[in-house]
Amino acid sequence: MAMSGDPPGGTPEDTGGGDDDFRADEYRSVVFDEDFVRAARLQEYSAQERMGEHARAVRSRSIWSSGASPAGSRSGLGSAARQGRLIVLCIALALAAAVYMGLRNPYVAPATGQAEALSSTVVPLAPSEPVQGGRPADLFAQSQAAQYRVGAAGITLPAMRRTHHFTEEQVQAALTVAKDYLVQSSLDPDVLSGAASRPVRVLLDPDQLQQFDQSMLTPTGDGHHALTGWLVRFDPAVAVVADTRVRVSGTLAVEEVAPDALEVTSDHTFVYAVRPATGQPLVVDGASLFTVRRELRLRFGRDDLTARRVELVSAYVMAGPQDCAADPAEGFRPLLAGAGPTTVGPAASDPYASGHPRRTSGLCGVLAPTAIPDQGVSPGP
């Protein structure tokens, strides 16, 4: 008698394995185990849910499903949902932190352009009266430089205030480096005599070094390679400094010219006591004064402030007394004590004048009589 669930014809003979065992082994690889079924992406709606209008037979299962999922899938799917929510939460927190830090510390891209080439103008001032000679101290006392300070003390820094894109410390750094450049290029005895140029070179932006080196080796008055546009130097074959206590007066001003650049404007008058170089004939015994007015524009990028270097943008220089026939681009050749006037004319430039002095449109100017010490100075050693 066939039992319920048996085939109609009864249980076939030879049920001891054979083909059935072979078929079980053959299809075991494609039978879905419990873990696979639990992780399936589709879930059948309940009978009550399927009664709804336009209801689908199945729905997708998401890792965001809450605890309302069937009991058979709560353990695996609930764990995956918690992990997914945690990952997304971490990403959101990281993005929020990045935005907050960006607002608190805005990144300003550094300047990537190269430094400009120096543009310089050097104007010799010829005397309209004889050059006075005497002791350096007497000459200074009888000149407009009598109240000037000595050396670096005459280069004073203005009040320092932050700008829109630069802090007070960065403004101070720009002014300090500008002063260092003026001291090294206008007051260093070795630079003045032509024995050295490195004290000036090490302060320059690397992009300007090639131009500087060419100006030192082969100076020309082409507006870009005048040696005296970069620094003060006396032709050692003509004159030497008689007193290292150079008189100095002038101003410094700073402004922000771009979000990544500060510019310092320097306007200073330097007064030197000079005497003839060894072997030069003496017309009148004693020293004489030589005056140099330097107006410089110095630019600082953020990298320059960090490295303590400067980009010299422009230089306008007036110097005298000297003969206009000499090329001042190669070094200053002062007309010394006793030399007579080499020019006449009312259109004179006074390098001592405050504010912007009269600029000459030609290659030579006239030294104002007021820039020469009083006639009463007596010659002396």
Residue 242: how many other CB atoms lie within 10 Å: 18
Distances, alpha carbon 244 to alpha carbons 88, 190, 195, 256, 349, in Å: 73, 11, 15, 35, 26
Which of the residue ranges 39-43, 271-275, 281-285, 340-344 would you say has the lowest mean pLDDT?
39-43
* Among the listed residues 250, 293, 263, the one whose alpha carbon sits nearest the alpha carbon of residue 123: 293
pLDDT of residue 45: 59
Say which residues have a Cβ less than 8 Å from residue 350's Cβ, sequence separation at least 6.
357, 358, 368, 370, 371
Which of the residue ranges 50-54, 242-246, 274-278, 368-372 would you say has the lowest mean pLDDT?
50-54
- Higher confidence at residue 171 or residue 345? 171
In the chain, the largest separation of any two C-alpha atoms, in whole Å, equals: 154
Residue 301: how many other CB atoms lie within 10 Å: 21
User: What is the residue-wise DSSP string for 281-295?
Assistant: PPSSSSBEEEEEEEE
Mean pLDDT of the region 69-92 = 68
Query: Is residue 252 exposed (0-12), middle (13-18) or buried (19+ Cβ within 10 Å)?
Result: buried
pLDDT of residue 128: 86
pLDDT of residue 103: 56
User: What is the residue-wise DSSP string for 122-168?
Assistant: EEEEEESSPPP-B-HHHHHHTSTTTTPEEGGGGS--------SSS-H
Whole-angstrom Cα distance, residue 281 to residue 339? 11
Q: What is the pLDDT of residues 21-48, one digit of tens each?
A: 555 555 555 555 666 556 555 556 566 6
Which of the residue ranges 52-66, 192-206, 280-294, 342-356 would you say has the lowest mean pLDDT?
52-66
| Paired residues of 300 in beta bridges | 262
Distances, alpha carbon 341 to alpha carbons 367, 368, 372, in Å: 10, 12, 12
Residue 90: pLDDT band (50, 70, 90) is: confident
Query: What proportion of the chain, given as a percentage, has pLDDT over 70?
Result: 68
The letter for the amino acid at 69 is S
Residue 353: how many other CB atoms lie within 10 Å: 15
Whole-angstrom Cα distance, residue 129 to residue 335? 11
Say which residues have a Cβ less than 8 Å from residue 351's Cβ, sequence separation at least 6.
125, 269, 291, 292, 293, 318, 319, 320, 357, 367, 371
- Higher confidence at residue 103 or residue 170? 170
pLDDT of residue 302: 94
Whole-angstrom Cα distance, residue 368 to residue 350? 5
Given a cut of 70, whether residue 205 has pLDDT beyond it is yes
Helix (H, G, I), strand (E, B) or coil at 300: strand
Q: What is the pLDDT of residues 307-337, one digit of tens each?
A: 999 999 999 999 999 998 888 999 999 999 9
Mean pLDDT of the region 101-113 = 51
pLDDT of residue 366: 84
* Among the listed residues 260, 261, 305, the one whose alpha carbon sits nearest the alpha carbon of residue 107: 260
Mean pLDDT of the region 231-240 = 96
Per DSSP, 321 falls in state: S
For the chain, the C-alpha Rg in angstroms (whole number) is 44
pLDDT of residue 214: 97
Given a cut of 70, whether residue 19 has pLDDT beyond it is no
Mean pLDDT of the region 218-245 = 96
- Higher confidence at residue 289 or residue 14? 289
pTM higher than 0.75, yes or no? no
Query: Over the range 317-328, which residues count as b (16 or more CB within 10 Å of their CB) and which as e?
Result: bbbbbbbbebbb
pLDDT of residue 235: 96
